[in-house]
Amino acid sequence: MPFERDPAHWLFQHSADEWISAALAEIGRASRAYESRDARGGLACARRAAGMALNGALIAEPNAAWGRSYVDHVRALAREASAPEAVRKACELLLEARAPAPGLLLLRSPGGDHAVLEAARDVMAHAYAKVKRHEV
């Protein structure tokens, strides 16, 4: 079915490819946030990037079980038996990662930040594959 833009609809305000592009920009913001030691912002942007990419996948392959919010999408994909195990684990990592509370100073390692970014990228790659599989 051809894409029809609907600026008033939460999902159809962008095409699948536009959601993927938005996700790529968001993962860039996540990376920059982590580089500037903003773990809270980095995690939020990484989760948002994964969810934006999954919006694109929802356009290609509608799935009511994924819900409406970015976190709903990630949570549903983490439980989806047909999803690759690596993607389910990436979703779990994104859901389980915790940002420090405001005003709390934690010693952090770049490895944890890198793991969150890679998890988001894995979810984004899965979404991208779904989008491209349905292109005409």
Total domains in the chain come to 1
Q: Name the nearest CA neighbour of 67 among 10, 17, 129, 120.
A: 10
User: How many Å apart are CA 53 and CA 129, to the nearest integer?
Assistant: 10
What pLDDT does 125 receive?
A: 98
Is the residue at 59 inside a domain? yes
Is the residue at 7 inside a domain? no
CATH number for the domain harbouring residue 82: 1.20.120.330
User: Interhelix angle for 110-133 vs 39-60, to 10°?
Assistant: 10
For residue 126, what are the domain limits?
16-99+108-133
Q: pLDDT tier at 135 (50, 70, 90 boundaries)?
A: confident
Is the residue at 5 inside a domain? no
Is the residue at 63 inside a domain? yes
Can you give the pTM of this predicted structure? Answer: 0.90
Give residues with Cβ within 8 angstroms of 32, minimum separation 6.
none
What pLDDT does 117 receive?
A: 97
Is the residue at 74 inside a domain? yes
What pLDDT does 66 receive?
A: 95
Is the residue at 88 inside a domain? yes
19: number of Cβ within 10 Å = 25
Q: Which residue has the higher pLDDT, 3 or 18?
A: 18
Only one residue has tokens 């894995």, namely 122
Q: pLDDT tier at 134 (50, 70, 90 boundaries)?
A: confident
**pLDDT tens digits for range 56-109:** 999 999 999 999 999 999 999 999 999 999 999 999 999 999 877 666 555 556
Is the residue at 46 inside a domain? yes
**pLDDT tens digits for range 18-56:** 999 999 999 999 999 999 989 999 999 999 999 999 999
What pLDDT does 107 receive?
A: 54
Is the residue at 24 inside a domain? yes
